[in-house]
Structure formats: structure tokens, C-alpha cells
């Protein structure tokens, strides 16, 4: 079976070629998937896509017209897929968990770097500037961290923060029965937290959950971390709050409009997104290019699960990791309640 592999990067190719993928040949494409590039899948039997590909109705219909019946997302999030358009036409599978440790540990790395300004020290000492002025941080011990979303990644991050001796409070729309997690209402979390870290998915509910109104409820000088999805934060409101120091610092691995810029070398371009340019230029912002997932364990698991997802489809087996639009709250187990032979339709 021939599979069109969109938005390929060297590390993807390396791992997909390394894992056993007998019966599958990948056509590696640099282009991101959208309605214009869908035609590149002509002659293929399936598609592999990633976080910044655009699987809207037009793209889905185009792929379907080409005879594509399976799209394997090589990621956990699926906010970029129009499930309603895909239902009955194209099965969508994903990698529900490849290494929650990769993302949780990276969140800790961002927290430490942002606080202790390690990225700044690194640049200074490379220039033989050994001054410590403006590098002051704070002890994490005893500080209150508010974690929004206590799923696979959030729960691991809760445990990491406890290791630092932090007071951990959490909010989740669907809290897990775990007596070690202190759940509070969202407003209380905003009010009490010295640091807030986002680990919930992007849904209609969570879109712009950090906006002017919620920022107003936060402590003066709060720190914010987002390793989940960019549109959880309204960028203009964040920028304003950073400029007036209501938010003392932000560590962002994701950005609202990242699909236009991230994962590519844009160092020789004039960036057209003014908000992004201003955020990057602020001394209290640490921004990385959606790399929290990037460990070798995660990449290997992504490749293995995606290959297995595709094999399940082509061998007419139940689809373990299928998701469909009937999952209204987008957080429950994979698959809908109306499975036919282990498939959504």
C-alpha cells in the first residue's frame, strides 16, 4: 500500500523507515496537507498527517475523491480535523499516547529555563559576558502551580511539580478520581496560582480560555506555560498582559498562528505576524517551536503506532485508535458507541 506522508521532516523519515513497515511504502512529501496539496496523494491508498496539516471539509472531500479512505494522524491532538466531514467517508486514526513523559518533562524544562533564565546565561557566556545582572529567578519550592487538564501529560507534570515541593492545584472538566490531586474551580486556580500550566485539549470549550477576562482574575506577576495548543491563549491579551507585567513571564511551545511559521527555518524572513514578532522580542517570553514531543522514544512510538493503525485498516481489523465526530467532548476513549466491527462506520 502506498501512503502519502505530508509535512515530512528528516526525523519523521528516519523513524518511519527504521520501524517494521512491511507492506507499506511511504511517499514522503514536504508540503503541508490542505485543500490545495491534497492532490499530491493521487495514486496513494492512505495518508499520514500531522498537527499543522489542515483537514477541513474541502481537504477531506478532495482526498475522498482520490479514493483515500484512511488518514493516520501521527500525533495525539486532532483539533485540525473536520470529523463531521470525514464521517462515513474517511476513517481517522491517531496516536493517543506516544510519550506523555516527553511533553511533561519538556514543560518542566521550560519552567526551569524561564524562571532561572538559563537561555539568557547560555547566550551571555558564549560572549564571555559573565554578569549575573537581571538573571534573578525564584525558588519553585513552596510556590503554587495551577495545572489545567490532568490527563496523561498533566498528571505526570503534577508529579514532577510535587517533586520540586510545589503546592499543586488542578482544574479538569472531567477530574480523575485521584485523592493525591487537589482539584479546585477554574476561577480559584486563576486566583491562587503563581504559575499556570495548560494541559487540556483544544476544543470549542477551551478555545481562548486564557483571555483578558481570565487574565484579570490571575495574580499580579503570574507565570504562564503552554505546551498544549496555541489557541488556548488569546495572543493579543497575552501580549498586553506581558507588556504591562501583569503576567511576569510566559513559556510557550505553541502559538495561535503557528501553522504558518513553526517547524521551518524562517531566520532570513521578515515575519508577517506582528504579535509573534512582539512576543519573541519580549525579554520575559521563552518561545519554542512545538518541540515538547521531540524525544527518540516518542518518535519511535509515533512511527510504530501509526504503522500499526494503517495495517489494522488495510487488513480489515478493528481500528484501535479511531476517533470520530460522535465523540462530542473530545476527551473520552477512542472510538464511538456505534462501532460496526470495531470501526466507527
Is 292 one of the binding residues for ligand NAI (CB under 6 A)? yes
Question: Shortest gap between Cβ of 145 and ligand NAI (angstroms)?
Answer: 15
Q: Which of 21, 62, 74, 290 is catalytic?
A: 290
Write phi, then psi, for 188 (nearest 5 degrees). Answer: -65, -40
Is 227 one of the binding residues for ligand NAI (CB under 6 A)? yes
Q: Which is nearer to ligand NAI, 92 or 200 (CB)?
A: 200
* Known active-site residue 258: yes
Task: Scan for cell 515538547, then name that residue.
Answer: 292
Q: Tell me the C-alpha distance between 41 and 38, whole Å.
A: 6
Helix axes 296-314, 10-18, angle to 10 degrees: 60
Q: Which of 253, 258, 308, 312 is the binder for ligand NAI (CB under 6 A)?
A: 253
Q: Which three cell numbers stand for residue 340?
A: 460496526
Q: Which of 234, 256, 258, 312 is catalytic?
A: 258
* Known active-site residue 91: no
Question: Shortest gap between Cβ of 205 and ligand NAI (angstroms)?
Answer: 4
Q: Which of 94, 143, 199, 304 is the binder for ligand NAI (CB under 6 A)?
A: 199
Q: Which of 63, 76, 90, 140 is the binder for ligand NAI (CB under 6 A)?
A: 76
Q: Which of 110, 114, 147, 254 is the binder for ligand NAI (CB under 6 A)?
A: 254
Question: Shortest gap between Cβ of 47 and ligand NAI (angstroms)?
Answer: 20
Q: Which three cell numbers stand for residue 29?
A: 512529501
Is 80 one of the binding residues for ligand NAI (CB under 6 A)? no
* Known active-site residue 116: no
Q: Which of 29, 153, 276, 344 is the binder for ligand NAI (CB under 6 A)?
A: 153
Alpha helix locations (H) across 78-192?
Answer: 83-86, 100-116, 118-126, 152-163, 186-192
Burial 53-74 (b: 16+ CB within 10 A, else e): bbbeeebbbbbbebebebbbbb
Residues 6-45 that bind ligand NAI (CB under 6 A): none
According to DSSP, the β-strands at 46-49 and 167-171 are unpaired
DSSP characters over 179-218: TTS-B--HHHHHHH-SEEEE-SPP-TTTTT-BSHHHHHHS
Q: Which is nearer to ligand NAI, 206 or 306 (CB)?
A: 206
Point out which span in 36-44, 149-157, 274-282, 301-309 binds ligand NAI (CB under 6 A).
149-157
Q: Which of 21, 74, 91, 229 is catalytic?
A: 229
Is 335 one of the binding residues for ligand NAI (CB under 6 A)? no
Residues 6+ apart with CB under 8 A from 123: none
Residue nearest to ligand NAI (CB): 151
Is 290 one of the binding residues for ligand NAI (CB under 6 A)? yes
Closest CA to 162 of 136, 140, 132, 184: 140
Is 103 one of the binding residues for ligand NAI (CB under 6 A)? yes
Q: Which is nearer to ligand NAI, 204 or 269 (CB)?
A: 204
Q: Which is nearer to ligand NAI, 172 or 194 (CB)?
A: 172
β strands within the chain, DSSP E: 2-5, 25-28, 46-49, 70-73, 91-93, 144-148, 167-171, 195-198, 222-226, 247-252, 285-287, 322-323
Q: Which three cell numbers stand for residue 27?
A: 511517499
Task: Scan for cell 496516536, then name that residue.
Answer: 95
Point out which span in 53-61, 226-234, 273-281, 302-310 binds ligand NAI (CB under 6 A).
226-234
Give the binding-site size for ligand NAI (rule: CB under 6 A): 32
Largest CA distance in the chain: 66
- Residues designated catalytic: 229, 258, 290
Which residues here bind ligand NAI, judged by CB under 6 A?
76-77, 97, 100, 103, 148-154, 171-174, 199-203, 205-206, 227-229, 253-254, 290, 292-293, 331
Amino acid at each position: 500500500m502506498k501512503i502519502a506522508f505530508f509535512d515530512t521532516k528528516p526525523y519523521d523519515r528516519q523513524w518511519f523507515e527504521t520501524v517494521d513497515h512491511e507492506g507499506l511504502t511511504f511517499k514522503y512529501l514536504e508540503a503541508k496537507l490542505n485543500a490545495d496539496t491534497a492532490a499530491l496523494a493521487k495514486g496513494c491508498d492512505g495518508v499520514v498527517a500531522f498537527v499543522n496539516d489542515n483537514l477541513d471539509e474541502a481537504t477531506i472531500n478532495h482526498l475522498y475523491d482520490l479514493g483515500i479512505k484512511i488518514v493516520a494522524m501521527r500525533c495525539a491532538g486532532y483539533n485540525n480535523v473536520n470529523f463531521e466531514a470525514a464521517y462515513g467517508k474517511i476513517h481517522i486514526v491517531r496516536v493517543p499516547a506516544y510519550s506523555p513523559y516527553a511533553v511533561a518533562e519538556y514543560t518542566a524544562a521550560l519552567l526551569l529555563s524561564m524562571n532561572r533564565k538559563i537561555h539568557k546565561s547560555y547566550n551571555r557566556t558564549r560572549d564571555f559576558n559573565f554578569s549575573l545582572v537581571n538573571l534573578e529567578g525564584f525558588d519553585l519550592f513552596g510556590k503554587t502551580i495551577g495545572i489545567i487538564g490532568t490527563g496523561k501529560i498533566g498528571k505526570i507534570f503534577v508529579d514532577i511539580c510535587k517533586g520540586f515541593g510545589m503546592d499543586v492545584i488542578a482544574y479538569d472538566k472531567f477530574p480523575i478520581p485521584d485523592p493525591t490531586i487537589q482539584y479546585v474551580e477554574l476561577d480559584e486556580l486563576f486566583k491562587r496560582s503563581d504559575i499556570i500550566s495548560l494541559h487540556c485539549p483544544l476544543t470549542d470549550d477551551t478555545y481562548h480560555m486564557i483571555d483578558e477576562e481570565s487574565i484579570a482574575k490571575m495574580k499580579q506577576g503570574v507565570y504562564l506555560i503552554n505546551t498544549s495548543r496555541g489557541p488556548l491563549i488569546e495572543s493579543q491579551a497575552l501580549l498586553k498582559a506581558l507588556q504591562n507585567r501583569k503576567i511576569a513571564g510566559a513559556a510557550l511551545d505553541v502559538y495561535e498562528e503557528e501553522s504558518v511559521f513553526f517547524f521551518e527555518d524562517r531566520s532570513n524572513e521578515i515575519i508577517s505576524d506582528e504579535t509573534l514578532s512582539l512576543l519573541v522580542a519580549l525579554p520575559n517570553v521563552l518561545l519554542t517551536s512545538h518541540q515538547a514531543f521531540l524525544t527518540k522514544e516518542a518518535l519511535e512510538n509515533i512511527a510504530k503506532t501509526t504503522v500499526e493503525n494503517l495495517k489494522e485498516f488495510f487488513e480489515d481489523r478493528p481500528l484501535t485508535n479511531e476517533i470520530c465526530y460522535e465523540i462530542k467532548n473530545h476527551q473520552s476513549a477512542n472510538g464511538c458507541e456505534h462501532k460496526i466491527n470495531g470501526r466507527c462506520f
